């Protein structure tokens, strides 16, 4: 009888009339190894003072290897972890906070003999020693009819359930298992017809530290698609084993666990994303699914399948709010990984959004939060706007803004707090930061305080001299039109006014710009040239982010990965994918390495190490009844 089957199903606590948070933290130590995962302890029952321990759901998948299964029950999460979902229901109770959905591991820890101890902001989890019994490469029963484009799986036998993690660098993967391996296994090769050798050795502590770089992988041609996989390198310390291997060309890795007996399977297939449908919180649904589109332009119909990860959000749900977020709340200058930005703003979920200049780290598009323009739209590109009543609009957006002098002259403002450089007058407020440093040569900086010009200075060379931004005013920056300075002499009284175009955008206090617009009224209206995107951007196939409105007025916050056996979608293909998903209006967001979808502490569409730093995003704030 298996360890888990003696205890399952794990019951979901029913008494929710008394719930009290005791402590929480942002890292766990599994047998002494520190991992960045949110955890919490709370008291559910006032009578027996029982303490329940929870780990964030996405953190549990990253650090323990657990696989979250589909569920529409927000109080219980089925999990596949050294269990058979068809016959063994490993169900963990959940509780939701403003940032995380915790899975209650209290009963699981008891069943597995784990020791849990809160130590400041660290949850220490001490596990009984596990042992790796064997490692082999073989065809599994359900893989007998696998296509030639698959590869022979690696099967690891274990004496008990134990945590594992997979990381990927380039075309190599590393699977780390909390289990010791006998020297006899480390020193032998695996027999069998056509089965490659296992390169092995007893590694020292330094060699197996998780922050050490992987050795350079062999060339991809040494690991072709075939039923014979790449060589395996096996290393072990006293209580941890590391398996390294290259990913066969054209395939993707997946690791999962089985019971009876306990095993890990390291597999390589053209498609490895686990499809799921989880109601994560009331009004927030997490989906993962392959979506197929067909292209008949070449004279014959060709189908492409894309892995799509998205959140479906009800913007009218009480306690759920969407807001623009950016990398540094004290300035508009700077970029950071979405994980860092999301955690800084304390959101439950987020997606990257608008474009930016990666060199200057400045925004290139509209950012409006709570009715205040933080950065103006550019080039009449697409934008998404929303208000507190759940109303959402996608369309092209400009900002008609100007400085009106006491003499009645109207001086157009070309940009507000933007990295987009254009001749004329740009305006910079304190949201930009404490100071402004010229972005181009020979600018003239005009300081405004209390609606009056108080100073005018030539700025010299770009990037040289910072100018303080008045806290009770703003700076006007004159570029390539020095004659405008004569209209802004010291002492001149001025006022600033602006109106969005079209004017209906004024109804929406929250706006983010990106582009191009993909869908309107269910029709593809893609015209990237009209939004002045470069030809190279228009033609490329890349991983994508997008946002869309459905007929039921829910929001789809979407990332799309590389197609099976190929590249990411084109702009036309992402529009077609969103059509299939039921989108009515849709907007393309910044994509490529920027495409990031965050939920409950982790990225859910890609490994965090593959995601680039971004400037801004859309954050989903939760205020659940705890």
Give a yes or no: residue 568 inside a domain: yes
Domain boundary among 238, 269, 300: 269
115 with 89, same domain: the answer is yes
If asked whether residues 319 and 206 sit together in one domain, one would say: no
Instruction: Give the domain-ending residue among 476, 501, 526.
Output: 501
273-276 long-range contacts, Cβ below 8 Å, gap at least 24? 273/307, 273/309, 273/561, 274/67, 275/70, 276/68, 276/69, 276/70
Q: The CATH number of the domain where 410 resides is what? A: 2.60.120.1140
Share the mean pLDDT of the chain: 89
Contact partners, residue 140, CB within 8 Å, separation at least 6 = 153, 155, 265
* Structural domain count, the chain: 4
142 and 261 fall within a common domain: yes
Please indicate, yes or no, whether residues 535 and 387 belong to a single structural domain of this protein. Answer: yes
Burial class (CB in 10 A: 0-12, 13-18, 19+), 33: middle
For 79-87, the CB contacts below 8 A with 24+ separation are 79/103, 80/256, 80/257, 81/161, 81/257, 82/2, 82/4, 82/161, 82/257, 82/258, 82/259, 82/262, 83/4, 83/8, 83/257, 83/259, 84/258, 84/259, 84/260
Q: Cβ atoms within 10 A of the Cβ of 424, count? A: 15
Cα gap 538→17, rounded to integer Å = 55
Distance separating alpha carbons of residues 424 and 63, to the nearest angstrom: 53
Residues 363 and 478 in one domain: no
DSSP string for 252-310: EEEEEEETTTTEEEEEEES--PPPEEEEEETTEEEEEEEEEEEE-TTSS-EEEEEEEEE
Confidence of residue 297 (pLDDT cuts 50, 70, 90): low
CATH classification of the domain holding 203: 2.60.40.3500
In-domain check, residue 69: yes
Residue 189 included in any domain? yes
Dist CA 618 CA 326 (whole Å): 8
Least trusted range by pLDDT, from 102-116, 235-249, 535-549, 583-597: 235-249
pLDDT tens string 65-87: 999 999 999 999 999 999 887 77
Same domain, residue pair 186 and 63: no
State the average pLDDT over residues 348-356.
98
| 154 and 203, same domain (yes or no) | yes
Domain that includes residue 523, residue range: 280-396+506-622
- The last residue of a domain, from among 104, 126, 148: 126
Beta strands in 353-493 (DSSP E): 356-357, 362-363, 367-369, 372-375, 382-386, 392-396, 398-405, 410-416, 424-428, 435-436, 444-449, 452-458, 467-468, 473-479
Q: Confirm whether 28 is domain-assigned.
A: yes
Residue 238: the pLDDT is 80
At 151, the pLDDT band (50, 70, 90 cuts) reads: confident
- Please report whether residue 72 resides in a domain: yes
Is the separation of the CB atoms in 415 and 422 below 8 Å? yes
Indicate whether 275 belongs to any domain.
no
64: pLDDT strictly greater than 80? yes
Contact residues for 385 (Cβ-Cβ < 8 A; gap 6+): 368, 392, 393, 394, 397, 505, 507, 508, 510, 511
Q: Please tell me the distance from the alpha carbon of residue 182 to that of residue 200, in angstroms, as a whole number.
A: 11
In a domain, 274, yes or no: no
Per-residue pLDDT, 296: 62
Residues 10 and 139 placed together within one structural domain of the fold? no
Mean pLDDT, rounded, for 345-354 = 98
Note whether 386 and 514 are same-domain residues: yes
Single out the residue of 144, 138, 67 nearest to residue 103, CA to CA. 67
pLDDT at residue 350 in the model: 99
Q: What span, in angstroms and rounded, lies between the C-alpha atoms of 448 and 278?
A: 52
Res. 9 pLDDT band, cuts 50 70 90: very low
What's the whole-number mean pLDDT along residues 421-437? 97
The whole-angstrom separation of Cα 224 and Cα 151 is: 9
Q: How confident is the model at residue 454 (pLDDT cuts 50, 70, 90)?
A: very high
Query: Is residue 32 located within the same domain as residue 141?
Result: no
The 10s digit of each residue's pLDDT in 508-539 is 999 999 999 999 999 999 999 999 999 999 99
pLDDT given at position 335: 98
- Please check the confidence at residue 7 and state whether its pLDDT lies above 50: no
- The bridge status of strand 172-177 relative to strand 241-246 is antiparallel
287 within a domain of the structure (yes/no) = yes
DSSP 71: B
What confidence category does residue 456 fall into, taking pLDDT thresholds of 50, 70 and 90? very high
138 and 222 inside one domain? yes
Same domain, 256 and 141: yes
pLDDT tens sequence across 105-127: 999 999 999 999 999 999 999 99
Give mean pLDDT, residues 365-388: 98
Position 228 pLDDT exceeds 80: no
Mind listing the pLDDT tens digit for each residue in 216-227? 333 333 455 455
pTM metric for this prediction = 0.90
- 289 bridge partner residues: 308
| Cβ-contact 275, 310 below 8 angstroms | no
How much is the pLDDT for 300? Answer: 65
| pLDDT greater than 70 at residue 571 | yes
Q: What's the CA angle centered on 598, arms 593 and 604, to 5 degrees? A: 75
pLDDT at 187: 83
Q: Which residues pair with 172 in a beta bridge?
A: 169, 246
More confident residue, 210 or 575: 575
Residues 371 and 509 sit within 8 Å (Cβ to Cβ): yes
């Amino acid at each position: 009888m298996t360890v888990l089957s003696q205890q399952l199903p794990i019951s979901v606590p029913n008494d929710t009339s008394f719930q009290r948070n005791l402590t929480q933290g942002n890292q766990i130590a599994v047998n002494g190894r520190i991992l960045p995962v949110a955890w919490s302890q709370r008291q559910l029952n006032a009578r027996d003072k029982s303490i329940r321990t929870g780990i964030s759901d996405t953190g549990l998948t990253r650090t323990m290897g657990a696989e979250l299964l589909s569920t529409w029950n927000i109080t219980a999460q089925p999990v596949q972890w050294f269990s058979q979902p068809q016959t063994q229901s490993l169900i963990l109770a959940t509780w939701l906070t403003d940032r995380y959905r915790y899975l209650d591991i209290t009963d699981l820890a008891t069943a597995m003999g784990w020791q849990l101890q809160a130590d400041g902001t660290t949850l220490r989890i001490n596990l009984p020693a596990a042992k790796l019994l064997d490692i082999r490469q073989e065809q599994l029963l359900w893989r007998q009819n696998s296509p030639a484009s698959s590869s022979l799986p690696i099967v690891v036998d274990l004496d008990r359930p134990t945590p594992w993690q997979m990381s990927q660098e380039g075309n190599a993967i590393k699977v780390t298992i909390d289990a010791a391996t006998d020297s006899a296994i480390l020193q032998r090769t695996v027999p069998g017809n056509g089965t490659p050798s296992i390169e092995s050795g007893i590694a020292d502590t330094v060699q197996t530290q998780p922050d050490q770089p992987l050795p350079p992988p062999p060339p991809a041609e040494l690991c072709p698609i075939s039923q014979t996989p790449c060589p395996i390198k096996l290393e072990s310390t006293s209580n941890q084993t590391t398996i390294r291997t290259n990913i066969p060309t054209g395939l993707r890795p997946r690791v999962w666990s089985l019971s009876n007996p306990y095993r890990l399977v390291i597999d390589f297939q053209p498609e490895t994303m686990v499809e799921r449908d989880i109601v994560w919180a009331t009004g927030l649904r997490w989906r993962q699914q392959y979506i197929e589109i067909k292209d008949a332009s070449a004279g014959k119909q060709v189908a492409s399948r894309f892995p799509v990860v998205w959140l479906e959000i009800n913007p009218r749900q009480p306690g759920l709010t969407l807001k623009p977020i950016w990398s540094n709340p004290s300035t508009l200058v700077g970029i950071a990984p979405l994980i860092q930005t999301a955690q800084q703003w304390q959101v439950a979920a987020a997606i990257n959004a608008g474009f930016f200049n990666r060199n200057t780290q400045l925004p290139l598009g509209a950012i409006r939060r709570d009715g205040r323009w933080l950065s103006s739209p550019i080039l009449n590109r697409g934008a998404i706007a929303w208000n507190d009543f759940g109303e959402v609009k996608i369309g092209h957006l400009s900002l008609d803004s100007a400085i009106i002098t006491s003499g009645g002259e109207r001086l157009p403002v070309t940009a507000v707090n933007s990295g987009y450089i254009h001749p004329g007058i740009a305006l910079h407020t304190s949201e930009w930061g404490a100071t402004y440093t010229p972005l181009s040569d020979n600018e003239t900086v005009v300081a405004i305080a209390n609606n009056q010009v108080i100073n005018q200075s030539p700025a010299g060379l770009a990037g040289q001299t910072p100018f303080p931004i008045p806290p009770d005013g703003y700076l006007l920056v004159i570029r390539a039109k020095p004659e405008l300075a004569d209209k802004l002499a010291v002492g001149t009284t001025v006022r600033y006014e602006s109106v969005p175009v079209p004017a209906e955008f004024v109804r929406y206090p929250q706006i983010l710009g990106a582009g191009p617009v993909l869908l309107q009224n269910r029709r593809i209206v893609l015209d990237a040239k009209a939004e002045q995107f470069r030809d190279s951007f228009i033609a490329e196939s890349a991983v994508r982010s997008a946002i869309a409105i459905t007929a039921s007025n829910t929001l789809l916050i979407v990332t799309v990965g590389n197609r099976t056996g190929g590249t990411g979608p084109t702009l036309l293909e992402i529009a077609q994918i969103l059509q299939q998903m039921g989108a009515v209006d849709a907007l393309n967001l910044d994509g490529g390495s920027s495409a990031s979808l965050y939920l409950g502490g982790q990225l859910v569409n890609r490994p965090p190490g593959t995601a680039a730093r971004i400037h801004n995003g859309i954050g989903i704030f939760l205020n659940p009844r705890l």
